[in-house]
Amino acid sequence: MISSKDMEGYAEGFLGNCPHTDWPAVLKQKTKRTISLIVLGEEGETNYNYFQASELVKDPGFDFSKRTVLYVGGFLDSPKHIEAQAIGRFYKTLGYNVMLFQADKFMIVHYPIAARMIRPIGHAIAEMLTNLTADHMDLRKFEVIGISLGGQISSFIAKSYYQLTGNKIPRIVALDPAGPCFRNNDANNRLDDSDADFVVTINTNIDGYGMAAPVGHVNFYVNGGEYQPGDIYYIPCTIMCSHTRAYFIWLVSIGNPDAFIGIKCDSVQEARRHECFGKDPLITHTLSPDRVNASNPGIFYLATNTTWPYYLGKKGLTRDGDVYKTKVLDFNSEEVMRI
């Protein structure tokens, strides 16, 4: 018997469908107090809840002449965790104002409930941002970064902001945006390139906690996007390890702006199979906050090293630099194995 996809079927992915997550969900007025933006200052941080958005413009650590980034964490995440604090501090070194999304009350419930609630949560954050941009903040200098479920929350922030103002958020960077409960949704109910002027996705676990669809203008599929190599390179890191790898790659890219270079592919399937090498012309795209841009859209295969800090630079542009091609698949390169 010769197997085929028609025989095997196609993977639905973890929680490919979550019934009723697109049904109405409403935040009570008193509940809105649990949603806030935290401004990261030089020596501390200040929390502004939904009803205190007008006070944020007076924060001494906020300089409206600078660029501003909002970091949105994922399921079971919190701005108190080291991941949010670390990326916030890195952006501070680049001269950004930094805001951290806080809605812990909704991030520690059952996942399908969290997936449903991000719609009104996104709307509430959009209302806060509307007040900021109406008063002081220059929208052209604003961007959102979201990891996992935070990538989908970013989508609903942007959708709601557009509904409220008629303007699109300039840039969303989605770090392995959550696939569970979203991967089979239409564009109105998940992250989409129509949400912002420029949407970037970094995909590291597309069949697990991420999603395979190239929903951004620029979509990086790291080592094919399915699973990432571990420190022992022939043993892939597991779902959570692979899912969070997107965060660490973006974090490293902040301080190493030319270190991660992707190769353009014709399809996601080509990226999955590591078959994007050797094209003529070879079209590349550099992944980092100040290098990635909308002028070169598409699907890009990004080869990395197995260990921190992961980047390969120009070595990753050839098959010889690909971990899977040169190490994992090379074990049986001998025509006759004699042991």
Annotated catalytic residues are: 148, 176, 243
Rounded to an integer, what distance in angstroms lies between the CA atom of residue 208 and that of residue 222?
Answer: 14
Residues 6 or more apart whose CB falls under 8 angstroms from that of 202 comprise: 173, 174, 175, 176, 220, 222, 246, 249, 250, 287
Q: Output the DSSP codes for 47-108.
A: EEEGGGHHHHTT-TT--TTS-EEEEE--TT--TTSHHHHHHHHHHHHTT-EEEEEE-HHHHS
Place of tokens 């190599």: 229
Q: How far is CA 200 from the centre of its chain?
A: 8
Contact 56, 62 (CB under 8 A): yes
Q: Output the DSSP codes for 190-208.
A: S--TTSEEEEEEEES-TTT
Place of tokens 């002449």: 65
Q: Which H or E element spans position 115?
A: helix 111-135
Query: DSSP 3-state assignment of 317?
Result: helix
In 3D space, the residue among 222, 310, 313, 296 whose CA is nearest the CA of residue 260 turns out to be: 313
Place of tokens 């958020």: 169
∠ CA 174-85-123, nearest 5°, is 50
What count of other Cβ atoms lies within 10 Å of the Cβ of residue 268?
19
Four-point Cα dihedral 194, 152, 121, 168, nearest 10: -20
In 3D space, the residue among 242, 191, 248, 243 whose CA is nearest the CA of residue 217 turns out to be: 191
Contact 166, 204 (CB under 8 A): no
